[in-house]
């Protein structure tokens, strides 16, 4: 039976570079992105998406699968990612699942189910979120009703705050109670090893600053401007992506570019810390240290990854 691998960790920890080096050296490995924003076509610079050359060298899945005006969901991601893994296995190859979106990783590898939807309730909550101070009030409400879910949701993420409260109002149950639970770690739905890339906070902050600078140099503002000018613009989900939300505010005249980039780095650091907290709770993850040498050369960790996958 094929055993696959999930390589997880916070943003900017070097997961993608390590995964690419490993897959290039093993022709039976294909990469499945576990990133909630790399699914969008045209959102390349701000999501640190694999380049066309890298995707030619190694097959990548769950990248560029929908337009930026579409709403994406974890339910859709779960179905498509599991189908990708099944296809990879059917062709006698192994899947290397790579990403830092903890909920998406668990949705794919764990037997999670998702609660029902109610568009009327959602519309009411969305209208409340649009009022002055509305999102802050909804975030506070979620904190009071379901602190476990609130701890995993960025307070500025309207879509996820609204979804959690929608479920609570419709079902009367905490959003965090559905499926096996986001803090329950049992048997996975397919054989998979889980490895985490660990960075010190100082190294991670340094890498985040460098990443934001690089995105600015590589044309993040132009990319966001082009997306904004599309006939249907960006969906609510896409517009809330880190970096895109901040640059959209800059293009709307709400802040300078420097302020937008500083806000992007700050929000990325906050997100990375939540990712670290999420993954540290999972006892199934074996951690590898991503020290200074590995930050410059992913090959340093490749033998460790090979040993973990072979266990």
Task: Express each pLDDT in 238-283 by its tens digit.
Answer: 999 999 999 999 999 999 999 999 999 999 999 999 999 899 999 9
* Same-domain pairing of 191 and 131: no
* Same-domain pairing of 83 and 213: yes
User: Does the pLDDT at position 131 exceed 80?
Assistant: yes
pLDDT at position 176, please? 83
Q: Tell me how far the alpha carbon of residue 277 is from its chain's centroid.
A: 14
pLDDT at position 177, please? 81
State the number of CA atoms in the 13 A half-sphere of 101 facing the CB. Answer: 20
* Same-domain pairing of 127 and 101: no
User: Does the pLDDT at position 298 exceed 60?
Assistant: no
pLDDT at position 295, please? 47
pLDDT at position 180, please? 54
Residue 101, burial from CB neighbour count under 10 angstroms (0-12, 13-18, 19+): buried
Q: What gap in Å lies between CA 249 and CA 67, rounded to an integer? A: 21
**Mean pLDDT, residues 57-71:** 96
* Same-domain pairing of 74 and 219: yes
Q: Would you list the DSSP string of 208-251?
A: HHHHHHHHHHTTHHHHHHHHHTSTT---HHHHTSTTHHHHHHHH
Which domain, by its residues, includes 149?
A: 119-177
Structurally, the chain folds into a number of domains equal to 2
Segment 220-235, tens digit of pLDDT: 999 999 999 999 999 9
Per-state percent for the chain, helix, strand, coil, to nearest 5: 55, 10, 35
User: Which of the four pLDDT bands, split at 50, 70 and 90, describes residue 290?
Assistant: low
Q: What is the CATH number of the domain that holds 301?
A: 3.40.50.300
In this structure, what is the dihedral angle of CA atoms 52, 267, 185, 87, given to the nearest 10 degrees?
Answer: -10
* Same-domain pairing of 145 and 237: no
Order of strands, sheet of 60-61, starting from the edge strand that comes earlier in the sequence:
60-61, 29-33, 94-99, 4-8, 192-198, 285-289
Last residue of a domain, one of 161, 177, 193: 177
**Selected residue with higher pLDDT from 305 and 114:** 114
pLDDT at position 34, please? 95
Q: What is the DSSP letter of 45?
A: T
* Same-domain pairing of 173 and 185: no
pLDDT at position 304, please? 66
Helices 119-130 + 134-145 axis angle, to 10: 130
**Mean pLDDT, residues 55-65:** 96
**If you average pLDDT over every residue of the chain, what do you get?**
90
Q: Coil, helix or strand for 94?
A: strand
pLDDT at position 288, please? 85
* Same-domain pairing of 47 and 139: no
Contact by Cβ (8 Å): 168, 194: no
Contact by Cβ (8 Å): 212, 264: yes
* Same-domain pairing of 67 and 203: yes
**Selected residue with higher pLDDT from 82 and 276:** 82
Q: What is the CATH number of the domain that holds 164?
A: 1.10.20.140
pLDDT at position 61, please? 98
Q: Would you list the DSSP string of 145-208?
A: H-HHHHHHS-TT-HHHHHHHHHHHHHHSS-GGGSTT-TT-----SS-EEEEEEE--HHHHHHHH
* Same-domain pairing of 223 and 288: yes
User: Does the pLDDT at position 112 exceed 80?
Assistant: yes
Helical (H) or strand (E) element with 304:
helix 302-310
**CB atoms inside a 10 Å sphere around CB 147:** 11
Segment 10-57, tens digit of pLDDT: 999 889 988 998 899 899 999 999 999 999 999 999 999 999 999 999
* Same-domain pairing of 101 and 226: yes
pLDDT at position 307, please? 66
Least confident range of 38-47, 56-65, 168-177: 168-177
pLDDT at position 85, please? 98
* Same-domain pairing of 108 and 148: no
* Same-domain pairing of 273 and 138: no
């Amino acid at each position: 039976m094929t055993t696959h691998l999930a390589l997880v960790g916070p943003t900017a920890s070097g997961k993608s570079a390590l995964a690419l080096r490993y897959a290039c050296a093993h022709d039976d490995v294909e990469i499945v992105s576990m990133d909630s924003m790399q699914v969008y076509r045209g959102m390349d610079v701000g999501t640190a998406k694999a380049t066309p050359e890298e995707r030619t060298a190694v097959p990548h899945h769950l990248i560029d699968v929908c337009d930026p005006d579409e709403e994406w969901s974890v339910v859709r991601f779960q179905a498509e990612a599991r189908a990708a893994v099944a296809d990879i296995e059917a062709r006698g190859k192994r899947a290397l699942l790579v990403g830092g979106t903890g909920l998406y990783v668990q949705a794919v590898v764990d037997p999670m189910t998702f609660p029902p939807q109610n568009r009327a309730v959602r519309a009411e909550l969305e209208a409340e979120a649009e009022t002055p101070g509305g999102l802050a009030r909804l975030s506070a409400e979620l904190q009071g009703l379901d602190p476990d879910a609130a701890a995993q949701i960025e307070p500025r993420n309207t879509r996820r705050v609204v979804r959690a409260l929608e479920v609570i109002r419709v079902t009367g149950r905490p959003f965090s109670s559905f499926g096996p639970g986001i803090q329950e770690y049992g048997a996975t739905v397919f054989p998979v090893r889980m490895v985490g890339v660990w960075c010190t906070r100082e190294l991670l902050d340094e890498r985040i600053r460098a990443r934001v600078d690089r995105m600015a140099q590589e044309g993040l503002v132009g990319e966001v401007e082009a997306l904004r000018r599309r006939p249907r613009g960006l969906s609510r989900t896409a517009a809330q992506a880190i970096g895109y939300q901040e640059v959209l505010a800059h293009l709307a005249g709400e802040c300078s570019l420097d302020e937008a980039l500083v806000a992007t780095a700050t929000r990325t650091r906050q997100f990375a810390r939540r990712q670290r907290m999420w993954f540290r709770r999972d006892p199934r993850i074996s951690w590898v240290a991503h020290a200074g040498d590995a930050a410059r050369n992913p090959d340093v960790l490749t033998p460790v990854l090979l040993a973990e996958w072979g266990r």
